[in-house]
Structure 1
Amino acid sequence: MKKRKILFLGESYRADALTWTNGLKEFGDFEIISWELKTPSDTFPNRILRIFEFTFALIKIKEIIKLQQPDMVIAERTTSYGVLAALSGKKPMAIAQQGRTDLWPESSILLPFKKIIQKHAFKNATLIHAWGPVMTISMAAANVDMNKVMVLPKGIDLTKFVNKNTANPEKISAIVTRSLLPEYRHDIILKSFGLLNKKGVDFSLTIVGDGKQLSNLKDLAKKLNIEKKVFFRGRIQNTELPKLLQQSNFYISMPITEGVSASLFEAMASNCYPIVTDIAGNQSWITHRKNGQLITVDDSNMLANEILWAFKNTTYRKECVLNNRKFIEDHVDYKINMEIIANKYHELINSAKTTS
């Protein structure tokens, strides 16, 4: 039997994208063809070049479809690759919203235009992925046909992220695994640990990842006199992450916006106690002082106090991490969820072939 092909439109190197495409290979026996824009959008000149590249992208995508004859197209981000997938005319077509909403930043002067192209992508999609419940709110507000929406996280590999935590229970060993970008508020995390340091609380803080805030954050750690307790690990291989999580007993994440965080799931699977911002994307998974803690955005004082409260309440914290592991096993197992998604794609392809 001929192996089925899927054309993936998106940044194929990203961890989320790799989970998606590797899962389709493993559990759906799909061949994956990838295409992505080459110009990064990290600076203003690059953003201009990226827009220019975007205008010619559809021609290239249609050439790939004609040459490779994929059975299906999938795309991440409804306002970019999702639009290109919709314009390609290839069916079936699945798109995935990446955050609480892909209409970001919400202050953008291009917001009205983004709403128009996103509506086109939603209308033409055969299947729309909401990796978590919070994503459905903006979809419903945009009058999406919710019958097309699949609410299911891709999941994480529980054979890699195991519940064998080796962190010293007598010390706060915290880890942060988000990109060093302003919206993840690493400065708030550092300030909270600066407050703990002033109180004489012993800790180690491991910061994994890279980004444009790195230099500023290192300077801030020095200013707060905690540079000897903060370890910037930079960008690491994903294979190294499970071990670092297992050496930590606290997971801290303070974003100002969130869709579905795979890093939160990875931490919960690894018996790290989660402390995250009190925003909709985190509220789907964390209930304050029930299975973690929710912190007001940009409140370093509250974060410091809640870390200390959790550290002192050892019995409560031990029970939480055990329950969190069970929750991940029941709801966020990559092997189960990706098999469901892969089977759905086969159904869509079969249906398209029957009606064509």
Structure 2
Amino acid sequence: MKILFVADGRSPISRNWIRYFAERGDEVYLASTFACELDFPVKRLELTPVAFSAVKKQTSTPGSGSSRTLGLRTLIRQWLGPLTISRSARKLRAFIQEVQPDIVHALRVPYEGMLAAEALSGGRVSRPRFIVSIWGNDFTLHAPSTPLMGYYTRKVMKAVDALHADCERDIRLARTWGLGAESPTLVAPGNGGIRGDVFYPPKEFVKEPVIINPRGFRAYVKNEAFFKSIPLVLAKRSDARFVCSSMQGEAQALKWIQELGIEHAVQLNPPLSHAQMGEVFRGAQIVVSPSVHDGTPNSLIEGMACGCFPVAGDLESIREWITHGQNGLLVDPNNPQAIADAILIALEREDLRREAAGLNANMISAKAEYGRTMERVVEFYRSVIMSASHQTGG
């Protein structure tokens, strides 16, 4: 297949997906909205900035920066980013015309899907099949944020030939945003799934009371509530230790730690590779995901694959993975006491953690194993291409 991906080439989620097709021998092109370097081969990499992505340094990673900066950046892009789409689409349109791919697959709605939809709407561009991947907060956070974000989200949903989402909820929401009732869909993890050689349970059940928050700083992750839950846990379990991913040097995190007097119990980690994260997960008993907007968080199911007991925000999408009281606990992510209570229950109930670990291992093997998931994606791509062939009489 000849596939042109429109994606943030820095994103580990996007790279994990694109790498599969590059390494299996498909003819892969990447239109990246941010400057990046790849550690796998593609036929061609083209920088196609949109929504002020050109101002980003090549060394930056998605979600990097202070919490305040990230919130401001999101707000600016929501209001002003759509104004850049029309101009940016001209460059992508020329790339599509040159490559003539079988499929254009945008890995996210804002702003990659919006950019691709605009580029493909040009009258002279040869029309390949158009697929979009929905990420966890595309509909719940970004689409309703401003009138233009809503307009372009609807434009994308009406333009796509097929849709990939990481939860059933987003398939339902896509229909309300204009996806055709007959448009084919696929539900699969956004990064292609869990690599069993990286994310797997420890040889022995973890005895140390270690809790990990792998979400980093994002506008929709309630880290303040999480940090405020820590002294509540320590009041009853003084031996508990907390590990926070991608928060090393984060000024707001350091401020909360000092104000709450929890320096002795908290470790702030730098961004880590997948292999390193697997080791960290295998040393923890509990993974906490205190978010208010999500689809299927990759870091949450990675932690679950490594045997961590999940404590997560009570969201419709998360309930597709976690049954409260059976294989995890669902909480109000804005409530520090609720988070603390769930952590304490999990720390005290080894039987619950053991049962959940077995249930989660089976579920992830069935629903999210990388190799099987990507085989489903290949068949999905082929079916979309074949539908185009039948429509044109080829």
TM exceeding 0.5: yes
1:156 to 163, 170, 194: 194
Unpaired runs of 5+ in structure 2? 34-48, 57-68, 121-126
Deviation at 1:53, TM superposition (A): 4.3
Which residue of structure 2 lines up, in the alignment, with residue 235 of structure 1? 271
Q: 1:96-135 to 2 correspondence within 5 Å?
A: 96-102=133-139, 104-105=141-142, 108=145, 110=146, 112-135=147-170
Which residue of structure 2 lines up, in the alignment, with residue 338 of structure 1? 374
2:210 to 162, 170, 173: 173
Deviation at 1:191, TM superposition (A): 1.2
1:181–1:165 distance in 2 versus 1, CA, 3 Å: farther
Which residue of structure 1 lines up, in the alignment, with residue 256 of structure 2? 220
Give the alignment's Cα RMSD to 1 decimal.
2.5
Report SS of the residue matched to 2:272.
coil
1:141 to 144, 167, 176: 176
Mapped partners of 1:286, 1:277: distance in 2: 10
Is the 1:21–1:32 contact (alpha carbons within 8 Å) kept by the matching residues of 2?
no
Is the 1:165–1:248 contact (alpha carbons within 8 Å) kept by the matching residues of 2?
no
Is the 1:166–1:248 contact (alpha carbons within 8 Å) kept by the matching residues of 2?
no
Structure 1 residues 2-54: Cα deviation after superposition (integer angstroms, max 9, x where no partner): xx321111212112211221233345734232331233595569748855643
Mapped partners of 2:117, 2:366: distance in 1: 34
1:115–1:350 distance in 2 versus 1, CA, 3 Å: same
Number of positions where the alignment pairs a residue of Structure 1 with one of Structure 2: 349
Mapped partners of 1:182, 1:273: distance in 2: 24
Which residue of structure 2 lines up, in the alignment, with residue 269 of structure 1? 305
Deviation at 1:59, TM superposition (A): 0.8
Q: Which amino acid aligns with 1:60?
A: K
Mapped partners of 1:320, 1:158: distance in 2: 18
Which residue of structure 1 lines up, in the alignment, with residue 282 of structure 2? 246
Mapped partners of 1:336, 1:72: distance in 2: 21
User: Within the alignment, does 1:7 sit opposite 2:4 as a pair?
Assistant: yes
Deviation at 1:307, TM superposition (A): 1.2
Which residue of structure 2 lines up, in the alignment, with residue 70 of structure 1? 101
Structure 1 residues 135-194: Cα deviation after superposition (integer angstroms, max 9, x where no partner): 12322323422432222223111121112255641x311111112124211221111111
Is the 1:98–1:259 contact (alpha carbons within 8 Å) kept by the matching residues of 2?
yes
Which residue of structure 1 lines up, in the alignment, with residue 335 of structure 2? 299
Q: 1:35-114 to 2 correspondence within 5 Å?
A: 35-36=32-33, 37=49, 38-39=53-54, 40=56, 42=70, 43=72, 47=77, 50=81, 53-89=84-120, 90-102=127-139, 104-105=141-142, 108=145, 110=146, 112-114=147-149
Report SS of the residue matched to 2:261.
coil
Mapped partners of 1:50, 1:142: distance in 2: 20
Mapped partners of 2:142, 2:88: distance in 1: 23
Q: 1:272-287 to 2 correspondence within 5 Å?
A: 272-287=308-323
Structure 1 residues 249-281: Cα deviation after superposition (integer angstroms, max 9, x where no partner): 110110011111111110111000000111112
Mapped partners of 1:131, 1:168: distance in 2: 29
Deviation at 1:115, TM superposition (A): 2.5
Mapped partners of 2:32, 2:289: distance in 1: 31
Deviation at 1:309, TM superposition (A): 1.3
Q: Which amino acid aligns with 1:238?
A: H
Is the 1:23–1:339 contact (alpha carbons within 8 Å) kept by the matching residues of 2?
no
Is the 2:312–2:333 contact (alpha carbons within 8 Å) kept by the matching residues of 1?
no
1:46–1:116 distance in 2 versus 1, CA, 3 Å: closer
Structure 1 residues 70-98: Cα deviation after superposition (integer angstroms, max 9, x where no partner): 22101133342212222333320101111
Deviation at 1:103, TM superposition (A): 5.5
Q: Which amino acid aligns with 2:166?
A: W
TM-score in terms of structure 2 length: 0.81
Report SS of the residue matched to 1:87.
helix
Report SS of the residue matched to 1:102.
helix
Deviation at 1:215, TM superposition (A): 0.8
Deviation at 1:315, TM superposition (A): 1.4
Q: Which amino acid aligns with 2:211?
A: A
Which residue of structure 1 lines up, in the alignment, with residue 31 of structure 2? 34
Structure 1 residues 109-128: Cα deviation after superposition (integer angstroms, max 9, x where no partner): x2x33232222211221111
Report SS of the residue matched to 1:150.
strand
Report SS of the residue matched to 1:144.
coil
Percent identity over the alignment?
22
1:286–1:274 distance in 2 versus 1, CA, 3 Å: same
Q: Which amino acid aligns with 1:156?
A: I
Unpaired runs of 5+ in structure 1? none
Q: Which amino acid aligns with 1:161?
A: F
Mapped partners of 2:340, 2:175: distance in 1: 37
